[in-house]
Structure 1
Amino acid sequence: MGKYMMKSLLQMIPVLFFISLIVFILVRVTGDPVALMLPETATEDDRQVLTVALGLDKPLYTQYAIFITSAIQGDFGNSFHYGQSALPLVLERLPASFELAAAAMVLAIVIAVPLGIWSAVKRNTFADLLISGVSVIGKAMPNFWMGIMLILLFSVTLGYFPVSGRGGITHLVLPAVTLAVGLAAQMTRLIRSNMLEILNQDYIRTARSKGLIELIVVGKHAFRNGLIPVVTIMSLQFTSLIGGTLITETVFAWPGLGQLLVTSVNNHDMAIVQAAVFVIAIIVILGNLLTDLVYRFLDPRIKYN
């Protein structure tokens, strides 16, 4: 297991190197950084001074060598919009994104697990059809529309929750629900399909023939074996939530990494974009490694060589 973890960590190096190359190229093709940073009234001398200061007068391979060397040291440059180093700004926003992602994931699990199991156990009944139908609707609703509707109902009309911002638990409820609805819908369908397959296995029929109560058969024997695909989805969704909740964070003015990315792209603040992409990439890679460890816990038969 230790060798597998070490191998996985070493594999991060070429992945991050490839990501750095993509980010470097995309920053260059989005436009001239000097033209984006300077006002329209800037002179040619101003352009020349900024070009030299940014190192853009050097060949591309030299620029990339400087960029990757600085990135390894945690230096992605300074944000011209915020006037400070980019990486600390990104790391400063991470706790807010983690808080929102964790709340949405916990809420989605609380909703999806019992509904998915119940839908599978009550297959082809009214309860199953109702849960499946609601899941389809929940998955189909866009996050931005859901967020706006929740704000209009619970903030503007009823006044139960704040409209936007980050503060106490009341500020977290609406954005977490907005994200959790789509996640819960997807996970409910997945849990239902996995449970239906497992409930038809021979060992489940054997457990029932031994006289075990249905709660033990479903909860202990069936559900645990159906968790591996669910854990995969949870891992992928959680890591994507860290940097992918752009619309939701914008709608609720949640000061997370997603909102910072949107602002930085609009301001052409490429230093922050580069730092954010690297941080998100590392989170995704570590999340996948953690998922592999959870697999081993759920199914001891899984071996990593």
Structure 2
Amino acid sequence: MAKYLRKRLLEIIPVLLFITFIVFFLVFWVGDPVALMLPEDAKQEDIENLRSALKLDEPMLVQFGYFVSNVVQGDFGKSFRYGEDALPIVLERLPSTLTLAFTSMIIAVLIAIPAGIISAIRRNSATDVFVTGFSILGKAMPSFWLGIMLILIFGVIFKILPVSGNGTWAHLVLPSITLGTAVSAEMTRLVRSNMLAILQQDYIRTAISKGVKPLSLILKHGFKNALVPVITIMFLQISTLVSGALVTEVVFAYPGLGQLLVQAVSGRDMAIIQAAIFVVAIMVILLNLLADLLYKVFDPRIKYN
């Protein structure tokens, strides 16, 4: 286990370096941020002086070298928009996005696990058809469209839930449902397919012949053994929730990392973009590592080589 963990932690370094280079390369070719920092009537001399002070007049690889050396020290540069260090600004918004992602995942799990189990038990029934149809519909609906429909119904027509901002649990309901719907649809299909495969195993038939109660058979013997792939998809969907937050937070004016990143992209705020994507990348990598380590908890047969 310790050897496996050390190896996985060392693998994070080249992955982060590659992600950092790709983001830096894309940001480099977007345009000159100096044009946004100075007034339109700025003199060419002032433009060149600022570009030189920010080392934006250097070749791309040289700029990337400066950037990496600063990142190692935890310095992503100053935000052009806020005039402050980018990393603290990103970390300040991160808890709001994590709260939204966490509540969205809870909603997805509460929908997907019961629906997937019931659908597998009642295979080819009307319930199974309904659950399968929900999965397809939930996966196909664009998150921005669903968010707008929820705002229209619960915010405009019935006026029972807030449609923007942050601060109370009520502000999380509509964004969480919007984000959690697509994830629950994917998880429902996975739970259903795994349960169908598990329920046809020989040890399930043996348990039935021994008179094991149906509830114990489903939860203890069935779902527990189908849980490992579900854990995988849960942790992998964190990246989906974070990327989905880019749109959802804008739709609901939710002050999280997604809204900050969208504003940074539109304003070509390179420091914020790079810091935000770097933080999200680390979070996703560590969550995937945690998922790998949790496998052994649910399936002792797994060996770490």
Tell me the residue number matched to 1:199.
199
- Structure 2 residue runs of 5 or longer lacking an equivalent are none
The letter for the 1-side match of 2:126 is F
Tell me the residue number matched to 1:54.
54
Tell me the residue number matched to 2:183.
183
Does the 8 Å contact 2:179/2:244 carry over to 1? no
Q: Secondary structure at the match of 2:224?
A: helix
Tell me the residue number matched to 2:260.
260
Q: After the TM superposition, which of the residue ranges 56-65 and 157-166 deviates more from structure 2?
A: 56-65
CA deviation after TM superposition for structure 1 residue 243, in Å: 4.5
Does the 8 Å contact 1:243/1:280 carry over to 2? no
1:7 aligns with 2:19: no
- Aligned equivalents of 2:260, 2:62: Cα separation in 1: 29
CA deviation after TM superposition for structure 1 residue 38, in Å: 2.9
Does the 8 Å contact 1:81/1:269 carry over to 2? yes
Q: Under a length normalisation based on structure 1, what TM-score does the superposition of the two structures give?
A: 0.97
- Aligned equivalents of 2:161, 2:43: Cα separation in 1: 50
Q: After the TM superposition, which of the residue ranges 164-173 and 1-10 deviates more from structure 2?
A: 1-10
CA deviation after TM superposition for structure 1 residue 32, in Å: 2.2
Tell me the residue number matched to 1:105.
105
CA deviation after TM superposition for structure 1 residue 301, in Å: 0.7
Q: Secondary structure at the match of 2:160?
A: coil
Tell me the residue number matched to 2:213.
213
Tell me the residue number matched to 1:77.
77
CA deviation after TM superposition for structure 1 residue 159, in Å: 1.2
- Aligned equivalents of 2:60, 2:182: Cα separation in 1: 43
1:148 aligns with 2:148: yes
Structure 1 residues 244, 154: closer, same or farther in 2, change over 3 A? closer
Tell me the residue number matched to 2:235.
235
The letter for the 1-side match of 2:199 is L
Does the 8 Å contact 2:245/2:258 carry over to 1? yes
Tell me the residue number matched to 2:223.
223
Does the 8 Å contact 1:239/1:287 carry over to 2? no
- Aligned equivalents of 1:163, 1:56: Cα separation in 2: 41
Does the 8 Å contact 1:135/1:189 carry over to 2? yes
CA deviation after TM superposition for structure 1 residue 42, in Å: 1.5
The letter for the 2-side match of 1:155 is G
- Aligned equivalents of 2:67, 2:163: Cα separation in 1: 40
Tell me the residue number matched to 1:34.
34
Aligned residues: 305
Tell me the residue number matched to 2:129.
129
The letter for the 2-side match of 1:278 is F
Structure 1 residues 244, 147: closer, same or farther in 2, change over 3 A? closer
Tell me the residue number matched to 1:94.
94
- Aligned equivalents of 2:292, 2:158: Cα separation in 1: 45
Q: After the TM superposition, which of the residue ranges 285-294 and 131-140 deviates more from structure 2?
A: 131-140
- Aligned equivalents of 2:143, 2:22: Cα separation in 1: 29
